[in-house]
Amino acid sequence: MDNKQTIKTLNNLIETSKDGEAGFKVCAEDIKRDDLKSMFLKRAQECGQAAAELQALVLQLGGDPEDSTSVSGDLHRRWVDLKSLVSGKDETAILNECERGEDVAKKQYKEALEEDLPAPVREVVLRQQQGVLRNHDQIKALRDAARAKS
């Protein structure tokens, strides 16, 4: 894989990470439980750190790193806001939307790892994918627990 394709792949993951950062912040604003608010803010920070790490890799490869969220991520956050308004910021609805965002991140990282990335880049992407999988599983478990209560 040439640097151009690697940079494109990394920039896609930067957008995904920025989407996660912004999405978790929205969920933190909308959720009432302090423990979930704290978890969402921590996840937002982790996504921001992941984006920064990927941006540094793009710079090392001589590219111009992405620095914004994707259009689809912006649309998803608007949907989360609208759904939260309609549902009265229901915990289950917020967790559902959060999980949907993590489904997108899982897909993006899986697709990136299907490419022929240079070894040092692959290591970073693989490590970050583990964080995405952990986030997804934790959000899904919380959502399932919230559903069971209602």
**pLDDT given at position 7:** 96
Q: Tokens 């478990």 identify what position? A: 141
Check pLDDT > 90 for residue 40.
yes
Q: What do you get for the CA distance between the two ends of the chain, in Å?
A: 49
Q: Give the mean pLDDT of 9-32.
A: 89
Measure the CA–CA gap between 105 and 12, rounded to whole angstroms: 10
Q: Tokens 């912040």 identify what position? A: 25
User: What is the 3-state composition of the chain as percent helix, strand, coil, each rounded to the nearest 5?
Assistant: 85, 0, 15
Q: Give the mean pLDDT of 1-11.
A: 90
Instruction: Select the highest-mean-pLDDT range: 27-41, 63-77, 123-137.
Output: 123-137
**pLDDT given at position 112:** 97
pLDDT digits 0-9 by tens, 55-104? 999 999 999 998 876 555 555 555 555 555 545 667 888 888 888 888 98
The neighbour count for residue 130, using CB atoms within 10 Å, is 10
pLDDT band at 29 (very low <50, low <70, confident <90, very high): confident
Q: Which CATH number is associated with domain 3-149?
A: 1.20.1260.10
